[in-house]
Amino acid sequence: MTNPLLADWTTEFELPPFAQIADADFAPAFDAAMAQGRAAYAAIADNPDAPTYANTIVAMEQADAALDRVAGVFFNLCSADSTPAREELQRDLSPKLSAYSSEIVNNRALFDRIEMLWAARDTLGLDAEQARVLMLYRRMFVRAGAALEGDAATRLTEVKSRLASLGTQFTQNLLADERDWVMPLDDLAGLPDFVVASARAAAEERGLDGHVVTLSRSLIVPFLQFSDRRDLRERAYTAWTARGANGGATDNRAIAAEILALRAERATLLGYDTFADYKLETEMAGTPQAVRDLLMQVWEPARAKAMADAEKLEAMLRADGQTGPLQPWDWRYYAEKLRRAEHDLDEAALKPYLSLENMIAAAFDCANKLFGLEFRALDVPLYHPDARAWEVTRDGRHMAVFIGDYFARGSKRSGAWCSTMRSQRKLGGDVRPIVVNICNFAKGDPALLSYDDARTLFHEFGHALHQMLSDVTHGFISGTSVARDFVELPSQLYEHWLEVPEVLADHARHVQTGEPMPQELLDRLLGAQNFDQGFATVEYVASALVDLEFHAGPPPSDPMQKQAEVLDALGMPQAIRMRHATPHFAHVFSGDGYSSGYYSYMWSEVMDADAFDAFREAGDAFDPGTAAKLERFILSAGGSDEAEALYTAFRGRMPGVDALLRGRGLAA
C-alpha cells in the first residue's frame, strides 16, 4: 500500500489527505524523503559538468521537495495537535534531521560548486533575484560551517544535533506542564459569564465536573483580571510562571543552561566572539549594541509609566483592605478595575461585540479592501474538527488556501503563530501556498474574544498575508523568509486596521442582537488603546534584554541567576515579571528562531508605527496607492532584497523610535 504522504495528492488544491494519514506513516515517509534528498544532493555534487546556476542552485531548490511536503504536515501537527506517538517521533527525528542538514552543508563538493558560482557571479547573467539567492545560499553554507574541516567540522555537527534534541525536549516539557496542571474552582466570585463559560468548557474537555482554570493564556489571563479571590489568583499565577521549573522530568532549567553553552560553542567554532554576534550579523540590527540601544530607549519611559501606575494600583489594593505590597497576581485585577474607572470600559461589556466570527470577517474584509482578496469557505477534511479552511482568490485567480485553527486544547502548544504546509514558489510551476493561523482562544458558543485576542487574530493574519501575497520564483526567499527583525512588520502593521473606527463600526456587532457597538463604547475603547502600556512594555522589554544578555557574553552556568542579575540591574518593578521567564521562554529555547532575537517585535514595531503613518498621511486607512506599494515592496517581495532596502523602497527612508513611543503613549 502506498504511503499517502509520498503519493500524489489528488485532493482539492492538493491539500494533504489528512483522513488517509496515520501516525505510523510519518517515520517511513521521512526516511524515504531523506533518501530522495540525499540522492538529489549527491547528483548535484557529483555532476561532472561545470557548475551553472541551473544545475546547482535551481537543482538544490528542488532537491528537498518530498521532505518539505512531509515535514510541512508533520511539524504543523506536532504543534497544533500533538499525540504521544507524534511527540516520540519528533524526539527521534530531531537529531536525524539535524544530521541530514549537516551532511548537506558539510558536502565539500557541493560547497565548492557554490564557491565557483560565487567567484564568477558577475559573468553569469543573473537577474536580481537569482543574484540574491546565490548570495544567501553561500552565506547559509558558510554560517552553517561548510568552510570548517576536521575536528571543528565534526564537533559543529555534534553541537547542532544536540541543540535540535534539546529544543524538542524543551518544547515538549513545556507542553506537558501546560497540559497537566488544572485548578478546580469552587468560588466564581467576580468572574463574568464569559470566563465562567470558558472554565466550564475547560472542565468538560478534561472530563471533569464544574469549572477549572488551566494554563491556557486565553483562560488564565481573564481569571487573573476578574477573580475576587486573591489566594486563587496567586495560586494560578504561580503555576503559570512556574511552567518548566517544577522539578522532575519536565524541568527546563538545566536544558536552558546546556543550550546556551552549546550556542556559545557553536559561535566560537565559526569564529564569532559571542552567539549574539553570530546571530545578529544577518539581521537588520546587525550588532548586540544596536539592539541594546533600542531597548533602553524604550525601557526608561516604560518603567517610569509602570511605576506611576503601580502606585495607583497599590492604593486600590489597600482600599480593598488588603495588606502587603502589590503583587504580580494583583496587577491585572486592579488594572481592570482602573481601566473601568478611568475609561468606563468593562471587558465583560466589550466581548459580546467581538465574536470570533465577526473578527475573522473583519480581517478578511480589510484584506479585500487593501489587496482585493476574496475568501470562500471550503468543506474539506482537515487534521482536527476545530480547524477551518478558506480558498483565497483575487480577480478569479487562486492565491492560497488559508486554514484557521483558533481554539485552545490540550494537544496544542500555547501561544499563537502562523506557519505553512506549502510555501509559494514558481520553480517547477506556479505553486500557491497553504497557510495556517494558530490561536488559543477560549471555546464558547458563541466564541467571544477580548480586544487583545482580536489583536492577536489580526497579527497572525498579517503573517498569513505575507505568505499569501508572496510573488517570487525561489521558495528559498518566499513569504516570511526574511530577517527575523523584519518578519514581524507585516503582522504588527496589520493590527492597526483593528483600530480603524470604520472597521469596528462595521464588524464589532453584538453577538445576539447584531447591533453595532455603540459609538460611545467605541470611543472609550479607542481612547483606552494605550491603557497599561507601561506594564505591557516593561514585561516585554525585560524579556528581550534577558534574551540578549544570555547570548551577548559568556554563557551563564546558571541562567536563572543571570536572569535575576539582568532584572536587578534594570530596576525591574517588583509587581511585574518577565513576559516569558527562562524555563518557559519557548521563543528562545525551542529553537534558534528568536534566540538573541526576541527584541525583533520591537524593532519591527518601530517600522510598523511609521508604516501605518503612510496611510494616515494619505488620508485613508485603505488608500489604494499606499496599499499597492505595501504589497509590492513588502508583502510580495519575500526575502528578495535586504530588509532595509525593501522598507526604504516603500517609505522613502528608515524610521526613528519616535513613532513607536508615540504609538504606545510613552512619548515625553
Residues 121 and 234 in one domain: no
- Structural domains in the chain (count): 3
Residues 130 and 201 in one domain: no
Tell me if 106 sits within 8 A of 153, measured CB to CB.
Answer: yes
Predicted pLDDT at 381: 96
Predicted pLDDT at 69: 96
CATH of the domain at 91: 1.20.1050.40
Predicted pLDDT at 414: 85
Tell me if 284 sits within 8 A of 644, measured CB to CB.
Answer: yes
Q: How many Å separate Cα 663 from the centre of its chain?
A: 22
Single residue among 144, 172, 206 that ends a domain in this structure: 144
Residues 394 and 443 in one domain: yes
Cα distances (Å, whole numbers) of residue 597 to 241, 275, 291, 405 = 22, 11, 9, 26
Residues 374 and 505 in one domain: yes
* Rounded Cα distance, 336 and 525, in Å: 13
Q: What is the mean pLDDT of residues 216-231?
A: 95
pLDDT band of 145, cuts 50, 70, 90: very high
Tell me if 508 sits within 8 A of 353, measured CB to CB.
Answer: yes
Predicted pLDDT at 659: 83
In a domain, 536, yes or no: no
pLDDT band of 365, cuts 50, 70, 90: very high
Q: What pTM was computed for the model?
A: 0.91
Predicted pLDDT at 299: 97
Residues 119 and 23 in one domain: yes
Predicted pLDDT at 372: 98
User: For this structure, is 520 an active site residue?
Assistant: no
Predicted pLDDT at 345: 86
CATH of the domain at 356: 1.10.1370.40
In a domain, 304, yes or no: no
In a domain, 586, yes or no: no
| 75 pLDDT above the threshold of 90 | yes
Using a 10 angstrom Cβ sphere, with 0-12 exposed, 13-18 middle and 19 or more buried, the burial of residue 310 is: buried
Q: What is the mean pLDDT of residues 91-97?
A: 94
DSSP one-letter string for 288-335 = HHHHHHHHHHHHHHHHHHHHHHHHHHHHHHHHTT--SS--HHHHHHHH
* Rounded Cα distance, 45 and 63, in Å: 12
Residues 209 and 137 in one domain: no
- Percent of residues, the chain, with pLDDT higher than 90: 93
* Rounded Cα distance, 268 and 57, in Å: 29
Residues 470 and 380 in one domain: yes
Predicted pLDDT at 203: 95
Q: What is the mean pLDDT of residues 114-119?
A: 98
Q: 667: closest CA among 358, 301, 336?
A: 301
- Name the active-site residue from 178, 336, 347, 460: 460
Overall size of the chain counted in residues: 668
Single residue among 221, 249, 277 that ends a domain in this structure: 249
For 214, the domain range is 181-249
Per-residue pLDDT reduced to its tens digit, 579-601: 999 999 999 999 988 999 999 99
In a domain, 667, yes or no: no
| 533 pLDDT above the threshold of 90 | yes
In a domain, 615, yes or no: no
Q: What is the mean pLDDT of residues 596-610?
A: 94
In a domain, 191, yes or no: yes
Predicted pLDDT at 663: 84
* Rounded Cα distance, 34 and 529, in Å: 50
Residues 45 and 92 in one domain: yes
In a domain, 463, yes or no: yes
pLDDT band of 323, cuts 50, 70, 90: confident
Residues 378 and 498 in one domain: yes
Residues 66 and 19 in one domain: yes
C-alpha cell at 169: 525536549
Residues 133 and 193 in one domain: no
DSSP one-letter string for 375-410 = EEEE----SSTT-EEEEEEETTEEEEEEEEEEE--T
Residues 447 and 390 in one domain: yes
In a domain, 46, yes or no: yes
| 668 pLDDT above the threshold of 80 | no
Predicted pLDDT at 348: 85
Single residue among 92, 115, 144 that ends a domain in this structure: 144
| 1 pLDDT above the threshold of 90 | no
Mean of per-residue pLDDT scores for the chain: 96
Predicted pLDDT at 656: 87
pLDDT band of 25, cuts 50, 70, 90: very high
Lowest mean pLDDT across 15-19, 228-232, 347-351, 457-461: 347-351
Predicted pLDDT at 90: 95
Q: Are strands 388-394 and 374-378 parallel, antiparallel or unpaired?
A: antiparallel
